[in-house]
Copies of this chain bind each other. A is one copy, B any other.
Amino acid sequence: MTTYQQIHLHSRPTGEPTADNFKLVEATLPALDDGQVLVRHHFLSLDPYMRGRMNDSKSYAAPQPLGAVMQGGTVGEVVESRHPKYKTGDAVVGMGGWQEYSVVNANQPGALKVVDTTHVPLSHYLGAVGMPGVTAWYGLVKIIAPKAGETVVVSAATGAVGSAFAALAKARGCRVVGIAGGPDKCAYAVNDLHFDVCIDYKQHTDLKSMSMALKEACPNGIDGYFENVGGYLLDAVMLRTNPFARIAMCGMIAGYNGEPLPMQNPSLILVNRLKIEGFIVSEHMEVWNEALKELGGLVATGQLKPRESIAQGLASAPEAFMGLLKGRNFGKQLVKLI
């Protein structure tokens, strides 16, 4: 009987999550049935969307159940297999959740994907060459659909989505402007992620100031915006949009804690003939292969060098997650479990 650790959702947060909302639990590994695979997780992904699922409210995904393992993406290795497609030692990506091991019903389509770690480190399959990378790809390619020479902007610029967005947009000949928090992140965005400019939102904490900073950073206006944050950033970007600009709405970090975040001037949608589109990347599985191929190529050739913030050990996950929601991570937030 092997025991291992899990983290459960213990109570639902009101406002910002606290340590009390999570509970570390010991569990025992069961014997495998036919078709099942046992995966030892190497890395657990922490993502902003998880905050939304902690609420018991209507959204695109069912809420995270109370008293159950926190859901989330994982990469790891197969340690035991009763499925012909998987063998011990395979590197795999799945949705194993906040725990050290998971038992996967491998007959379920898409439950477990074997990946090649020759040119791409395993952890990147949770970031640049995983869900966040495809998220950036879908918003840029399918919604913003920029022409060479256009100006595109992304918030949370140094995160997993923002990093991939920059590499994809530069590959399409765009001027790419990021918004991130603090001089270190902004320097990293420009020096390592190839952003043309990065605006420090901590230096521009209101609409007017941010709008002026965007005006300077985008002398030809804004043609596309990838929204990871919401609030006054969206208002400021909208003031600088060119006619027919496109806004891909992917995240609203600031709103997950429940404060209403109005859009101050929706009449700009009409005045500038904007298109604003919300999307969830898991509903567009038809693009994943094409997107992952491009993203894997950008990583393999060094055009995309994603940075990671790594917390050590499962018990550190709640604290790392709370930090992520406050923008304390620097690059893709992971938890290393081995």
* Chain A interface residues toward B at CB < 8 A: 58-60, 230, 234, 243, 249-252, 255, 260-267, 269-280, 283
Chain B hits for A262, CB < 8 A: 262-266
- Copies of this polypeptide in the complex: 2
**Are A264 and B260 in touch, CB under 8 angstroms?**
yes
Question: How far is B276's CA from A276's CA once the two chains are assembled, in angstroms?
Answer: 5
Chain B hits for A230, CB < 8 A: 266-267
**Are B59 and A271 in touch, CB under 8 angstroms?**
yes
Chain B hits for A249, CB < 8 A: 266, 269-270
Q: Taking A275-B277, A276-B275 as contacts, is the C-beta distance between A263 and B266 under 8 angstroms?
A: yes
Chain B hits for A274, CB < 8 A: 276-278
By secondary structure, the A interface counts as loop
Which of A60, A271, A280 is the most central at the interface, judged by chain B CB atoms within 10 Å of its CB? Answer: A271
Chain B hits for A280, CB < 8 A: 270, 273
In the complex, which residue of chain B has the Cβ closest to the Cβ of A277? B275
Question: How far is B264's CA from A251's CA once the two chains are assembled, in angstroms?
Answer: 17
Since A60-B273, A230-B266 are in contact, a sample of 4 more A-B pairs with Cβ atoms closer than 8 Å, ordered by chain A residue number, is A59-B271, A249-B270, A273-B277, A276-B276
Which of A58, A249, A261 is the most central at the interface, judged by chain B CB atoms within 10 Å of its CB? Answer: A249
Question: How far is B264's CA from A262's CA once the two chains are assembled, in angstroms?
Answer: 4
State how many angstroms separate the Cβ of A275 from the closest Cβ of chain B. Answer: 5
Question: How far is B273's CA from A144's CA once the two chains are assembled, in angstroms?
Answer: 15
State how many angstroms separate the Cβ of A268 from the closest Cβ of chain B. Answer: 8
**Are A269 and B276 in touch, CB under 8 angstroms?**
yes
State how many angstroms separate the Cβ of A123 from the closest Cβ of chain B. Answer: 27
12 contacts between A and B (CB under 8 A): A58-B271, A60-B271, A249-B266, A251-B270, A252-B267, A252-B270, A262-B262, A262-B266, A263-B266, A271-B278, A274-B278, A276-B277
Q: Taking A263-B262, A266-B230 as contacts, is the C-beta distance between A275 and B275 under 8 angstroms?
A: yes
Chain B hits for A275, CB < 8 A: 275-278
State how many angstroms separate the Cβ of A214 from the closest Cβ of chain B. Answer: 16
**Are A270 and B278 in touch, CB under 8 angstroms?**
yes
Chain B hits for A266, CB < 8 A: 230, 234, 249, 252, 261-263, 266
Question: How far is B275's CA from A269's CA once the two chains are assembled, in angstroms?
Answer: 11
Question: How far is B57's CA from A263's CA once the two chains are assembled, in angstroms?
Answer: 20
State how many angstroms separate the Cβ of A294 from the closest Cβ of chain B. Answer: 23
Chain B hits for A243, CB < 8 A: 60
**Are A273 and B278 in touch, CB under 8 angstroms?**
yes
Chain B hits for A283, CB < 8 A: 273
In the complex, which residue of chain B has the Cβ closest to the Cβ of A262? B262
In the complex, which residue of chain B has the Cβ closest to the Cβ of A280? B273
**Are B278 and A272 in touch, CB under 8 angstroms?**
yes
State how many angstroms separate the Cβ of A21 from the closest Cβ of chain B. Answer: 21
Question: How far is B267's CA from A255's CA once the two chains are assembled, in angstroms?
Answer: 7
Closest 5 CB pairs of A and B: A262-B262, A270-B278, A263-B263, A269-B278, A263-B266
